[in-house]
Structure 1
């Protein structure tokens, strides 16, 4: 019997999942296993890789920064990569966002956003405490983000730790008014501090897509009631939906925006929470009790900031949006070539596609998800279905042949996992 690894893997049931696949290298849209097998990374290694694994410019920037400064406490100190990155992020972000708070993951960027929102209301002398969140949202695995996210298998065991959140119905096509009415009702209580949503698509909730008009409508309702609008762009940012940030498609500027995953091109862990000037100013005081009390030991790590700056340079110097448009076209064609009647609800937003497999057992814990994952891996493709929902979210550099390999694995899936 093979000895069990000492490593405890994320979102892994070690009593059921097979042993982890050892990866030794990555390049472009592919990974290489210890035994030399190439795997097409069709989910960007949990939605983080944008330009491809080991993009030369990002790798070079990391090496260069390591020769200068590896780490410094960010309380009371600063450094050039963090200062320069903040300016560039603000220049790219929707109008009105003026300050950048660094953290180290999507979860912490949202946790910071929630703390900013509650701190804002307390500091201006109007202590609103209510939080509303869009149905089917997933915002992370810390206590605040689990509270804001949909309740279910992800967080059932931790329910005693979570705070109550008002759930706003998902704005399915034709049902947007129910969403607006619920959010308006939450706002009319006078206690709504903030509303949080993933713009245009609920990722872990099943790649559920809604319209830019619905997003704009929700923002207007928040403005009407003075509630802060938090855009969780952790997954949707950096071009995934077809624009740099998804909020652009609705023409809205959130009060707080969370970004991570693609911030460094997927090379290193870094996150940022962008806030408007009025939120920042509400925390500025001679009273130390009005401080935003949040940190991690590696806040604004110089090496991670250097990677993010290199990523932005790639955006400035290479035709990234054109690649995304081409990928979107390839994705659209491949998705609609899935003719098997056991596939339903094909959908696409930007470079993301998804389709549901008709099975009796549905939802995140559907056992078919494990079989789909194993089948794809046997075909040399990394997929991680959300239960019976198969999605493709690849790096922008993926070639037509590599994408065809992905859809070949999907096409053969119904027969293989039946």
Structure 2
């Protein structure tokens, strides 16, 4: 603990607050459980920030890393190749939305977004349309923390500090009626938001390189698009000659009940970013996927200046690609997608009980991607003040009862490893319910039961 306080600067963490309590220091994991250095067990209800698919210390995934390490751990992909990255690229193309046929590897989701933005930008230059260089983003979007990713993000608390460093974008509303100031129905809200995007594309398409979006917004509080909305955006982009970039870093690899969230609407993006669950949460591998049309625009002679000048030291790292291959093999063998769909139905039924708590203002679910938004007053939608740190208090209470739950502001999350059983999911939700009840009852006047 003393060395942690002395040497480590933790991400998204106010370090002064962090050092005022005993930190949870993880030593090992098994299945859906994590264990600290004192041997205490905790349910991992957020899949170690949405990455873990098949559980911690899965023997087959561990073995895949060991076997690869005995051959070679890493060699450069800059102008050279390696076996695991080739086989993994083939597997990714096989499961990705149709048309995405080329894989550019990197180390994190934010890097994948940077790659997709640069590909889109350079693509239009190569096509003789250099004026198409702006991007359309959505309100409350989050795509990572590098400068390009922050430029297409729109969560002020995270991004406002860096405003002068960012490039200009167009911003349109994301369709979710709970937060809509007009209090419209879901479909009416979606159409109102669509009208803004339609108008923007009709007026500014000649200046727009691409539209970038999350099919379910993650860091803004688990906000899914209404069914069919993504398909309408795809059609608009094609109509106006604008690239569609879908960020599936958080939603990919079964999290929403399909391999990718785009699959729910049968959407075929021009560019797609993936990461997190690709390796089962074991090693940092991510990628940007592109169509033949985009890839072929970059082909030319050595001196044509069409090369995509981008790369990372550990791009296509053999250890990461080997464990990703094993993760995808087990997805098929163990029918993980079907399991997620089954458990998600059970979770939806259990979530109904949470409406008994007056502090619960909204419950949002897509597969095993769940956000429970806490409010001071459900009728008026009055939020808890930021300074009250209600989500933080609930997270601390969960920890007391043996569960790790990292909230997003006042939104409590349930995003377990995909192999979670119904019994385990029920136990986690019981802890979450109890923790919300105990931390909010005095603030909103008790339960409704």
State the Cα distance separating 1:402 from its structure 2 match. 2.4
Quick one: distance in 1 between partners of 2:272 and 2:122? Answer: 16
Within the candidate set 155, 172, 177, 1:168 is matched to 172
Shift of 1:364: 6.7
Residues matched between the structures, number: 417
Q: Structure 1: how far apart are the matches of 2:325 and 2:242?
A: 33
User: Which residue does the alignment assign to 1:6?
Assistant: 7
* SS of equivalent to 1:175: helix
Q: 1:208 to 1:362 in 2, by over 3 A?
A: farther
1:402 aligns with 2:424: yes
Q: Which residue in the other structure is 2:245 paired with?
A: 230
Q: Where does the alignment leave 5 or more consecutive residues of structure 2 unmatched?
A: 177-185, 377-381, 441-449
* 1:40 and 2:54 correspond: no
TM-score by length of 2: 0.90
Deviation at 1:91, TM superposition (A): 0.7
What's 2:358 paired with? 341
Measured against aligned partners, the alpha-carbon deviations of 1:175-221 in whole angstroms (never above 9, x if no partner) come to: 1222222222222221111001111x111011112223111111111
More deviation, 284-293/152-161: 284-293
Shift of 1:252: 1.1
Q: 1:39 to 1:224 in 2, by over 3 A?
A: same
- More displaced stretch, 91-100 vs 2-11: 2-11
In 2, Cα distance between the equivalents of 1:411 and 1:369?
13
Contact 1:356 1:390 in 2 (8 A): yes
Partner of 1:337: helix, strand, or coil? Answer: helix
Matched, 1:144 2:148: yes
For residues 5-37 of structure 1, the C-alpha deviation after alignment (integer angstroms, 9 at most, x for no partner) is 301111110011234311111111010111111
Aligned to 1:375: 397
How far does residue 261 in structure 1 lie from its aligned partner after superposition? 0.2
Q: How does 1:163-242 map to 2 (within 5 A)?
A: 163-172=167-176, 173=186, 174-188=188-202, 189=204, 190-199=206-215, 201-242=216-257
Deviates more, 1:179-188 or 1:319-328: 179-188
Q: Is the 8 A contact 1:362 1:387 kept in 2?
A: no
Structure 2 residue 115 is the aligned partner of structure 1 residue 100? no
CA distance in 2, matches of 1:216, 1:134: 16
Q: Which SS does the other structure have where 1:403 is aligned? A: helix
2:318 to 280, 289, 302: 302
My pick for the range that moved more, 262-271 or 405-414, is 405-414
Residue 307 (structure 2) aligns with: 291
Question: Which residue of the partner structure matches residue 356 of structure 1?
Answer: 373
Q: Any idea what the Cα deviations from partners look like across 1:294-336, whole Å, max 9, x if unmatched?
A: 1111010011000110011111211212210222022112211
Q: Equivalent residue for 1:53?
A: 56
Q: Which residue of 2 aligns with 1:63?
A: 66
Of 63, 74, 78, the residue aligned with 1:75 is 78
Q: Distance in 2 between matches of 1:393 and 1:411?
A: 15
Which structure has greater helix proportion?
Answer: 2
Q: Report SS of the residue matched to 1:344.
A: strand
1:261 aligns with 2:276: yes
